[in-house]
Structure 1
Amino acid sequence: MKKVLIIIICLQFGIVFSQEEDRKEIIATANQLVADGNELLVKDGNFPKAEGEYRKAIAKNPIDVSAKYNLANAYYNTEKYDEATQRYTEAVKIATSKSEKHKAFHNQGNTFMEQKKYQEAVEAYKNALRNNPKDNETRYNLALAKKMLEEEKQQQDQNKDDKDNKDQNEDNKDKEGENEDKKEGDEGEKDKDKKEGEDDKDKKDGEGEKDKDKKEGDDSKDKKDGEGDKDDKEEDKNNEKDGDKTEGKPEGQPQQMEGKLSPQQVKNLLEAMSNQEKKVQDKMNAKKVKGVKKKAEKDW
């Protein structure tokens, strides 16, 4: 029984020893890959090959902070800030010491500053100071990030005020334009109504003048007709008077005429003359009869 226990313990020890050796070998290999990457990046400036070595180190030892941290620094120096931020975040998660966390948070803050993400930078610097409160460089960067954040907020407020003022001015202009259009429309309607009123007035005045002229024409016509009737009546009356005067005058005396004679007057005059001539003829015939000697009849 004891022999069995001793054998089991030896086997477990051997396995642990083997695993430890393998882990040491893995760490050593990963560290060498990181070193090769640093050399390629610093001496040769060959970022693509350096990136490849860092990735190999991470694949070999995923819990190695240095591989992810150095790869993040490589991204930062080549201005690949999104990739750098991702790798710094991964380094923070697997870091076991405050020193490692402090460096990762500090550089992550620098990455956010380059992206003008001042609020994120402030939080990253604060986390860095929590792991190393004595780092003056981190403290300075934090103060700078806060200042930039405040200026950004002021600029945003200013831009907002300017935008609001611009929008307000545009609204005022639009309202003024609407009021002006409405005013012009009202004036146009007023002018139209006024013109229509004037046209109606002129039309009514014209109709009134027309009616007036028509009425005056009718009145004139009636007046003329009345005057004509009056003249005819007066003429008939005068003719009657003239006829009476003609009949009462001595025979053979010509009638005194003044002005133009009416048809009735002419008729009366002719009849009077005819009567006068007949009377004279009758007298002359009578005288002839008296003067003729009568022949005696023969006695048989």
Structure 2
Amino acid sequence: MKRILYILLLITAVSFSQEKDKAELLALKKANDYVYEGNDLIGKEDFVLAEMAYRKAISEKPETIAGMYNLGNSYYEKGAYNEALFRLQQAAKTAISKAEKHKAFHNIGNILMKNKQCKEAVEAYKNALRNNPTDDETRYNLGLAKICAEEQKNQDDQNQDDQNQDQDKNQDSQEDNQDQDKKNDENKDQENEDNKDGEDKEDKKDKGDEEDENGKPEDKNKDQGKGDQEKEQPQPQQGQLSPQQINSLLEAMSNQEQKIQEKMNEEKQKGVIIKTDKDW
């Protein structure tokens, strides 16, 4: 009984495998048909319908290298380099044979050169030569890619040097501005200090003048101070006697009294009294 059951399971498995193989073969046949259709449309320069045919081929059998590769090439012919690069990278990743990988990497290098990605193109051509070292066209493209990559490197270095020089110039300019600001601040501080010294000297001068006005002359010139005192003595107003006039009058009166006294003494001697009137 067990033996019969085992035989039935084996028959079922074989039948299922055959059906799966038939489905895969059918899908592969359809995919190849779509690839052929796409190739025919490319020959007629009908890129839109060709793209649709290649997409159908990939849909029927995703690992169809011809569909990915030819779709990528169709994008390349249209100038859609980013889409072409994506499809060819898919083809290179999926490919099994070295011939398929070589073609995919070679065209990837061509697309990268179109995009001015020379350094990346060098690596793509190297991968192509690893799968087919005898391809002279790939070797020639690799030489061009190396020259292009070296020129780009030199240009990048020059741009970096220019950028560094600009940064150095900007830094020097900032330092010069800082030095100028510092010098301006020092000049301003010195100017403020000079103004302060001038104000102190002016204050001392005003204080000295105030002391002179308060009757405190400088010791170094007494005669000049005395003359200033005399000049600063108040002048008599109209109708009043000056101190000198008063002194002179007092002196005259004293002399007059002395004369009168002498006369009185003489009159006493004669017995006659004389009265005097003061006119002041």
Is the TM value for this pair above 0.5?
yes
Give aligned pairs, total.
Answer: 247
Distance change (3 Å), C-alpha of 1:96 and 1:281: closer
Task: Using the TM superposition, give the Cα deviation of residue 40 of structure 1 relative to its aligned residue in structure 2, in angstroms.
Answer: 2.9
User: Residue 253 of structure 2 aligns to which amino acid in structure 1?
Assistant: V
Instruction: Give 1:79-94 correspondences, 5 Å limit.
Output: 79-94=79-94
Could you tell me how far apart the structure 2 residues matched to 1:221 and 1:117 are? 104
Show the counterpart of 1:54: 54
Task: Using the TM superposition, give the Cα deviation of residue 104 of structure 1 relative to its aligned residue in structure 2, in angstroms.
Answer: 0.4
Deviations 1:35-77 (A, max 9, x none): 2223333414342x32221111111122211001011112222
Show the counterpart of 1:110: 110
Q: So what's the TM-score if we normalise by structure 1?
A: 0.69
Instruction: Give 1:227-246 correspondences, 5 Å limit.
Output: none
> Which of 213, 220, 239 matches 2:226?
220
Show the counterpart of 2:278: none
CA RMSD of aligned residues (A): 3.5
Distance change (3 Å), C-alpha of 1:151 and 1:208: same
Distance change (3 Å), C-alpha of 1:11 and 1:263: closer
Task: Using the TM superposition, give the Cα deviation of residue 97 of structure 1 relative to its aligned residue in structure 2, in angstroms.
Answer: 1.9
Q: So what's the TM-score if we normalise by structure 2?
A: 0.74
Could you tell me how far apart the structure 1 residues matched to 2:10 and 2:199 are? 125
Other structure's SS at 1:262 match: helix
Q: Percent same amino acid at aligned positions?
A: 36
Name structure 2 gaps, 5 residues minimum.
231-246, 273-280
Show the counterpart of 2:131: 131
Could you tell me how far apart the structure 2 residues matched to 1:17 and 1:216 are? 138
Deviations 1:233-292 (A, max 9, x none): xxxxxxxxxxxxxxxxxxxxxxxxxxx84325415524643762685598487xxxxxxx
Could you tell me how far apart the structure 2 residues matched to 1:209 and 1:165 are? 65
Residue 273 of structure 1 pairs with residue 260 of structure 2: yes
Other structure's SS at 2:56 match: helix
Please tell me whether Structure 1 or Structure 2 has the larger radius of gyration of its CA atoms.
Answer: 1
Could you tell me how far apart the structure 2 residues matched to 1:216 and 1:73 are? 114
Could you tell me how far apart the structure 2 residues matched to 1:34 and 1:109 are? 23
Name structure 1 gaps, 5 residues minimum.
225-259, 286-300
Distance change (3 Å), C-alpha of 1:54 and 1:281: same
